[in-house]
Amino acid sequence: MKAQFTKESLSHALQKVRGAVDEQTPLPILTNVMIEARDGKSRMIGTNLDLRITVSLTASVSDKADVAVPAKTLGDLVSRLADPDSSIVLSGDTQKGHIQVTAIGKQKFTGQLPVLSKDDYPKAAKIEGEVTLSIPSRNLLSGLRRTAVAAAMQDGRRYLTGVLFDLEGSDIKLVATDSHRLSFVRLSVGGKHAKKEFLVPIRAVQELIRCMPDDETAVSMTFTDRVAVFSTDGISIQTQLIAEKFPNYAQVIPKEFELDFRADVTQFMQALRLVSVFTDSQNPRITIKLDSSTMKISAVSQDRGQGDASVDVKYSGEPMEMAFNAYYCIDALSQILTPEVQVRIITAKNPCVLRSPDDNTHLHVIMPMRI
């Protein structure tokens, strides 16, 4: 092979695909990235078998080849080239088990990279019987950011470690829960679709948030019973789906409420952050006392002491006291994009709902703690 890449192109591709590379795996091939060198159509691939990320590369190729190279070694080399305008040439006979690497620019460097056969690199899953949708990348990212905060990162119940894509009619609903809280977002995808559900692992969702452009670029979403593929210009993310049934989230979201209050999101968030200093990781409990037009947020810890903060609210109900996980409240408020938040309540013992006022396309449900 012989191909010349700019540092910028290699750095960009490595940054994206290394989210799918498992550097701790005992399988050597999975610590590598695959470079498919084609003039005008080169690309880099990283995979851990469950997740696969493919990124286009800018390259000048005089002798095409497919080769697997160590992700960490190549990444370290590229990152330590100080000249931003430098180029890297990969050349040699891939059948020999190594190739030459040469830096061209202000810094001079030559070396060798061990390589593995393209035949050993995992192939992409076949996409058959698919459902394909399209949505602006910015809309998808906004929905995923708002829901991902409620997913469990690790749990024996795998259905809690993903984001549900619930397709029906012209909408797709994104839902995540860790059984203590739930996030819901409804996005329009147009058309008219039969109801189908796809459960995307949280790691794949995090890579989508990290890799997809935050603009109006269209993202193609393709789903089968086992695999989902998200593609836009220059990047594709393929993931295995979680083959478990997601809980009936509609039963979790309260439909009728007795009371509600509104508060400034920034002031509410600042008060929670201050008071959370007096909680600990084992007991992140805060109490909220509503009385007329004031909300008092308090926390007490044997080791940390106690603290109170007050926030002006729009509330006309009877005095009420509730208890919540401080960090669940902070996570929910961080995804409210309007100046005010509306908090809807049944009783102090029931789940409450946080949402933007008069907006039923996005909400957070938080279970209360014991008072």
How confident is the model over 26-70, as pLDDT tens digits?
899 999 999 999 888 899 999 999 999 999 999 999 888 899 999
The full set of domain ranges for the chain reads 2-120, 131-251, 259-366
Q: Top-level CATH class of 131-251? A: alpha beta
275-298: per-residue pLDDT in tens? 999 998 888 999 999 998 999 999
* Residue 175 Ramachandran class (φ > 0 left, ψ -120 to 50 alpha, else beta): beta
Cα(151)–Cα(296) distance, integer angstroms: 29
pLDDT of residue 82: 87
Class of domain 2-120: alpha beta
Assess whether the region 2-120 and the region 131-251 belong to the same CATH fold. yes
Q: Which sign does the torsion angle of CA 358, 360, 366, 368 carry?
A: positive
Which carries the bigger pLDDT value, residue 103 or residue 40?
A: 103
Q: CATH says 259-366 is which class?
A: alpha beta
* CA distance to 56, 147, 336, per residue, from 341 (Å): 41, 17, 7
User: Per residue in 126-175, pLDDT tens?
Assistant: 888 789 999 999 999 999 999 999 999 988 899 999 999 999 999 999 99
Phi, psi of 85 (to 5 degrees): -95, 10
Residue ranges in 213-367 assigned as alpha helix (H): 265-276, 326-334
H or E stretch at 211: helix 202-211
Q: How far apart are CA 146 and CA 187, in angstroms?
A: 12
For residue 212, which of 179, 182, 234, 185 has the smallest C-alpha distance?
234
